[in-house]
Homo-oligomer: A and B are copies of this chain.
Amino acid sequence: MDVTIYEVAKRAGVSIATVSRALRGTGPVAAKTREKVLKAVEELNFTPSRLGVSLAEGRHAANGVVFPDLAGPYYTEVLLGYEEVASELGRSVVILSTKGRTRVNDLIKDLAGRVDGLLVFGHAAPDPLIAELVRLGVRLVVISRDPLPGADTLRSENTASARALAEHLAGHGYERFAFLGAPLTSGDDVDERWRGVRSVLGGAIEAVATREYTVECGFDAARALLKDRRPEAIVCSDDEVALGALLAAEELGLDVPGDVAVTGWDDIMAARHARPALTTVRQPMRELGARAARALDELITGVRDTPRHLILTTELVVRASCGPHPQEVRT
């Protein structure tokens, strides 16, 4: 981390250009010369300075990612998919968590300056900033946000799945519903789910907000809801909120799905393990991250220059928490 290409060149008795060529395999180098160079490199334990390389190449070989938080499996899973593919493509991943942070815009702009492209989760960055980044020419993939000009967007399908879920529940014969974890922002995933569900259930479903989409918040909101009036089915904005709802029901001595049905969204690991196992909509989280990394790579390398808006398909996963339903097969 200290020896430079000059020292290698001197030791090998060649010019720095030759060292560079020998090392990167760019341009011709006589076999004997290469030998000498490699030997010198070995002896001096030389590694090209990333900064020097990047400055000369005009690229960071790094991607950024901006998320609100890392609590819960969703962001984590997406991040893992992203990092894996980025790494495969020879790019490091620089992270930025915005929750509870001040001067978020500055942090994001700073991040943009140290990478070749950015993955941004819908909620993590304010709209005007996104627009500014686009204007600045930052390669951008935005997850779970309505298509916007100048950037790729990527999300899982919500509306149709939400309808399918609602229809499934209606098929159980339920008539009074609540949507727990009502949308906090319009146009995001949860908003789409809510709209989809409501488009089927209409006035039969009420929206119940939670502070955040967490087990804790789901628990609190569900307990309050169940104490006050008892819907027959609670559709939750995501699995964590649903897990909270299950806990609340248990605390109140209510049977799920006997007294109240509960559904989630995402199909996180814990959904399968919950008691009762959670009926949910599976969202391909890792793939979301992987696709984002590839999309960014296309944008950065210039293989593609027009934004693309991709929607990944989801899958309704029927388990025990929505009640016995003869026509469906359990997973």
Is B76's CB under 8 angstroms from A97's CB?
Answer: no
Is A114's CB under 8 angstroms from B62's CB?
Answer: yes
Cα distance A138–B2 in the bound complex, in angstroms: 11
Please indicate the chain B residues that have their CB under 8 angstroms from the CB of A93 in the complex. Answer: 94-96
Taking the closest CB of chain B, its distance from the CB of A125, in whole angstroms, is 15
Cα distance A125–B224 in the bound complex, in angstroms: 48
In the complex, how many residues of chain A place their beta carbon closer than 8 angstroms to a beta carbon of chain B? 49
Is A243's CB under 8 angstroms from B97's CB?
Answer: no
Is B83's CB under 8 angstroms from A47's CB?
Answer: no
Is B1's CB under 8 angstroms from A113's CB?
Answer: yes
Please indicate the chain B residues that have their CB under 8 angstroms from the CB of A95 in the complex. Answer: 83, 92-95
Taking the closest CB of chain B, its distance from the CB of A282, in whole angstroms, is 17
Is B52's CB under 8 angstroms from A113's CB?
Answer: no
* A286-323 with Cβ < 8 A to chain B: none
Please indicate the chain B residues that have their CB under 8 angstroms from the CB of A169 in the complex. Answer: none
Question: Which listed residue, B96, B138, B215, touches A269 by the CB 8 Å rule?
Answer: B215
Cα distance A45–B133 in the bound complex, in angstroms: 12
Please indicate the chain B residues that have their CB under 8 angstroms from the CB of A137 in the complex. Answer: 1-2
With an 8 A cutoff between CB atoms, is A199 at the interface? no
Interface centre among A71, A95, A215 (most CB of B within 10 A): A95
